Amino acid sequence: MNFATFEPVYEAILADFGFDRAADERARDLAADLATPFPPDRLGDWEGQTVAVAGAAPCLADEVALARDADVVVAASTAADVLADRGVDVDCMVTDLDKNPETAASLTREGVPVAAHAHGDNVPAVREWLPRFADEWTLATTQAAPVGPVRNPGGFTDGDRAAFLADHVGAGELVFPGWDFDDPAVDPMKARKLDWAARLLRWLERRRGEAFAVLDGRREATDAALDEILGDGGDREPDGA
């Protein structure tokens, strides 16, 4: 996704959470110093494939078959561990290093791509863990403007970033095992982040002209929030993208 297209949503996220853009940029710059370029084709051939974007909600344990039957599996955070425990290999992991960085580092050493995200609240983790990753299999990402080897395919939480990444490299159908926007076990901050994940997935759904079953029953509310941010034309790239 072109950053100019994503930026209004990014600015709305910053305003809603009170996050510091300069802190995101400092984290991005640190990641840029530690990372090396990652060509998109290193992810593999996802063009036209059914991609399972596996979330880390407890329901993933009951929805493993949806991932197993997909052509490509992208796991958000601890979903990688849940799937591995059930014999499902992941083709990519997306993480901001807050829960299971050991898994992410191990995957890169096994030749599995990991999209490692740098933001204002995880600078110590970026500094500690990115040097432990195999450079060749590490895609550094940011929610700010991309710089050097650090990319921004779109998204905010690990899960919706995984979906935007899949879209970025030409995925066909997207399916969503392990997602629960109404998980009662999460804290209020996580609940707000899940609300944003739903909005971002709805934006992606609209851009793709696809219907994600995970959004059934949520579209009206997410559309109202998105339209306030994006206005007309928010589902299109600007000229020259």
Task: Note the pLDDT of residue 234.
Answer: 62
CATH topology of domain 3-230: sialyltransferase cstii, chain A (3.90.1480)
Q: Beta 174-175 vs 138-142: how paired, if at all?
A: unpaired
Structure tokens at 64: 């493993």
Provide φ and ψ at 122, rounded to 5°: -125, 25
pLDDT above 90 for 240: no
Tens digits of residue pLDDT in 34-52: 999 999 999 999 999 999 9
Euclidean distance between CA atoms 121 and 232, whole angstroms: 33
Tens digits of residue pLDDT in 70-119: 999 999 999 999 999 999 999 999 999 999 999 999 999 999 999 999 99
Give the helix ranges, DSSP H, for 178-233.
188-208, 219-230
Task: Note the pLDDT of residue 236.
Answer: 57
pLDDT above 60 for 208: yes
Tally of CB atoms within 10 A around 49:
19
Task: Note the pLDDT of residue 1.
Answer: 83
